[in-house]
Structure 1
Amino acid sequence: MQKAWAVLSLILTCCMLLYLLLWENLSEQFHSKTVTISALILSRLRNTSLHIAERPIFPTEKEVSTTPIPILYKNNFTKLPEWDFEDVYLRNSEARRPTCPKSLQNTEDPKFKEAVLPDIQLWLYKNLLNITEWNRLAHFNNPFGFMEYKYNEVKRAVDLIPKPSIFLPVPENSKDGCIRCAVVGTGGILNNSKMGKEIDSHDYVFRVNGAVIQGYEEDVGNKTSVYVHTSFSMYSNIITLKKYGFNSIPLDKGIKYVMIPEGMRDFDWLQGLLQGKASNGSFKGVSPLKYFKGNFNESRFYVLHPDFLRYIRNRFMPSKQLQGRYWAIYRPTNGAFALFLAIHTCDIVDAYGFITEDHHMYSNYYYEMFKKTHVIFYINHDYGLEIKTWKELHDAGIIRLFQRN
């Protein structure tokens, strides 16, 4: 009997040792797979209250590699949530390195040098969105991330976007290797300005939104190299600005189109555009391709990355509105994003038609010849901050801001 108990005890001891060995090995594997997603889920929030629908904090081993984090909702935050990785951005090792001696990247302005990231990832395209990236970007509201969205719905559209080619090459006739750009807003300050010829003299001309040109060439020029838009601005401006002669978006030969993905409707629009069919969602039944009138080419189409948009907000335009109940509504204007895109892709940047301190002296838009309106400071933008920002960039020599006085 004693011999039998000894054998049984030995067997149980061996089983226990084998169990502990296997448990330790599995635990190490599970921990290595969950550490990244757990860090995202458990990242500390500073000065923000968050309520997430109940579910286990730690996903199963199968969920770790295949499941997005629980959806976060804007209404659960009383102000902008500040994550530990709020100021972490995707970087691009292939970013342009300018040779222009006058390049604004060579500026000595301390504030700008501290804030700017010359290698920030500008573009969103296929292969840049996977579960890991989604679980990071899902913490940020649109257009700065994918909060409230579903992974599969966004990824379907992103996977259609081809990797973009070089955005703005140095002109062949450039003797100093510099890229000179004009960014043209729609401000009434351009009305009767006679700046058209000067604007067109630049290597590249950026325009945004309702870029009305016909009949206003003397003030705003007629050349467009880059057109920056959202799906809504493209759709709505064709309807509302017909009375001003805006019958189509700019269609210049070789023009490049840059889309700001401001919401889910833009990803629905993208899917329709890149598949050559009608869109779903907000623009259900609308064919995005018709707005390009046969001028669409994937090699000249670009989509701004949410990291770039968030970087502009965080480092250059952090409005006080982000600390209030309407934090999720605020974002810089399309014109602001276009101007900062030029700052990151050009060497010398001149801005025309942007809001200035004396904006009350001019109409809201340069194409308002008869019934003039004035800027309304809606809560979704911070025009006071934009006035201050453009003036500071001008005074620091980063841009040259057109001013009448």
Structure 2
Amino acid sequence: MVVSCWSYYILVFTETGAEEAAVVLTKNAEVKRIPEMDNDISVGRIVSSVYDKQGFLLQLETKLPPELAYKYGNLSSGACKPGYAAAKMTTIYPKFIKSAPMFLDRNFKRLSKISHYLPPFGIKTQERIIDSILTATKNYGLGERLDRLSCKRCIIVGNGGILYNKSLGTRIDDYDVVVRLNEAPVKGYSRDVGTKTTLRITYPEGAIQNPENYEKDSLFVFSGFKPLDFKWFRQIVFKENVRGLDGFWKSVAHRVPRDPTEMRILNPYFIQEAAFHFIGLPLNNGLMGKGNIPTLGTVAITMALHNCDEVAVAGFGYDMSSPHAPLHYYEKVKMAAIKESWTHDISKEKEFLRKLVKANVITDLTKGI
């Protein structure tokens, strides 16, 4: 098929109604459809010579549409830019659709994108246990104050050694939402990583094991990668004795000093989208397999693109050319300790994150990506 127009818009009809998606075409170019993991969303025909196989523009130094450039250009200096990250993302990735809730709520069974996939890419077979957990947690947002904000600035704080001695603590604490990952500590490192934690995303093997090391006033956000993880989280929520530990690859936390109302379940769609749409990891029939699980940091960034207006990161990036550099900011393990991961594809993941930084979709405070 050959087209001779420069651009047009199509209406995409999904289960939730009509959504508008921009399709950019090059004059007189043959267009090809990009295969999707899901069949519930179609974005029409996209030019293969303009987009890469994941659907990102090959030329990433793109400008916002004039109306958005005008909108953000007229804001006072330093003001939060509503919808900015999603607008920039859509400019380089026209398939991006912003609506994806951060956490599961009592209507989670209606989320078609996750209902047909087993963990970690969905909730299939775990519906009953999730229902039980959500009955106890009762709350499904960031909290009244943050949920009311018309514009949210979020930062994902990675665990990389690149954070060490950067004195970014004050700058990190200025963000509305500060996301931390797994067991990365705050106490004793505040000069570099700040003191504020809005939410800490983790899974059983990554959770802080000493209850005394949890900071106050933060949400405990569970990300499930296997059915056993959901059983563990249910025991944590209901403050039961943790049992049935066979199947974890390392020891897990037995207690989390949080009330159920301070716990959340991260929407597994962000794992699915990061893996198959953004990075291009092997589908493996929708099952966890070799090299098709994104790191929790990239999952958190994906979550932020959907739920934050401005997105920044710090502490991301491994410099393999410096084997003696610290791997993490909080321990003495060196970069040379990194071994090939069975679950992650770090090089492909870095390629995706570099797209976001290059196109100014996200801001990298430590410039490690």
- After TM superposition, is the score higher than 0.5? yes
> Where does residue 43 of structure 1 map in the other structure?
none
Matched, 1:103 2:83: yes
> Where does residue 115 of structure 1 map in the other structure?
95
1:190–1:384 distance in 2 versus 1, CA, 3 Å? same
Counterparts of residues 207-218 of structure 1 (less than 5 Å): 207-218=180-191
> Where does residue 215 of structure 2 map in the other structure?
251
Contact (CA 8 Å) 1:183, 1:351: kept in 2 or not?
yes
| Shift in Å, 1:347 | 1.3
> Where does residue 166 of structure 1 map in the other structure?
141
Contact (CA 8 Å) 1:268, 1:280: kept in 2 or not?
no
SS at match of 1:389: helix
Higher helix share: 1
> Where does residue 165 of structure 2 map in the other structure?
192
SS at match of 1:291: coil
> Where does residue 270 of structure 1 map in the other structure?
233
1-structure distance, mates of 2:289, 2:84? 32
> Where does residue 314 of structure 1 map in the other structure?
276
1-structure distance, mates of 2:238, 2:153? 35
- How many residue pairs were aligned? 289
Instruction: From 365, 369, 386, give the equivalent of 2:328.
Output: 365
Q: Which runs of 5+ in 1 are unaligned?
A: 1-81, 89-98, 239-245
The one-letter amino acid of 2:170's match is: K
SS at match of 1:183: strand
Contact (CA 8 Å) 1:206, 1:224: kept in 2 or not?
yes
2-structure distance, mates of 1:323, 1:271? 28
1:250–1:336 distance in 2 versus 1, CA, 3 Å? farther
Counterparts of residues 3-402 of structure 1 (less than 5 Å): 85=39, 101-105=81-85, 107-108=87-88, 110=90, 112-129=92-109, 139-145=116-122, 151=125, 154-162=127-135, 164-167=139-142, 177-234=150-207, 237-238=208-209, 248-253=212-217, 255-282=218-245, 291-293=255-257, 296-319=258-281, 321-322=282-283, 328-329=289-290, 330-355=292-317, 358-361=319-322, 362-369=325-332, 373-402=336-365
2-structure distance, mates of 1:218, 1:229? 23
| Shift in Å, 1:359 | 4.6
1:158–1:220 distance in 2 versus 1, CA, 3 Å? same
SS at match of 1:341: helix
RMSD, aligned CA:
3.7
SS at match of 1:360: coil
Measured against aligned partners, the alpha-carbon deviations of 1:71-125 in whole angstroms (never above 9, x if no partner) come to: xxxxxxxxxxx8764769xxxxxxxxxx954532452455544232211244334
Provide TM-score, normalisation by structure 1.
0.60
The one-letter amino acid of 1:388's match is: E
The one-letter amino acid of 1:194's match is: S
SS at match of 2:133: coil
Contact (CA 8 Å) 2:163, 2:193: kept in 1 or not?
yes
| Shift in Å, 1:381 | 0.6
Higher strand share: 2
Deviating more after overlay: 271-280 vs 102-111: 102-111
| Shift in Å, 1:171 | 5.7
SS at match of 1:385: helix
Contact (CA 8 Å) 2:320, 2:335: kept in 1 or not?
no
Provide TM-score, normalisation by structure 2.
0.66
Q: Which runs of 5+ in 2 are unaligned?
A: 1-35, 43-78
Measured against aligned partners, the alpha-carbon deviations of 1:274-316 in whole angstroms (never above 9, x if no partner) come to: 33312343379xxx996333xx233332112333321232221
Measured against aligned partners, the alpha-carbon deviations of 1:350-401 in whole angstroms (never above 9, x if no partner) come to: 1011115x35333221123476644333121111122112211111111101
2-structure distance, mates of 1:187, 1:269? 27
> Where does residue 95 of structure 1 map in the other structure?
none
2-structure distance, mates of 1:396, 1:269? 39
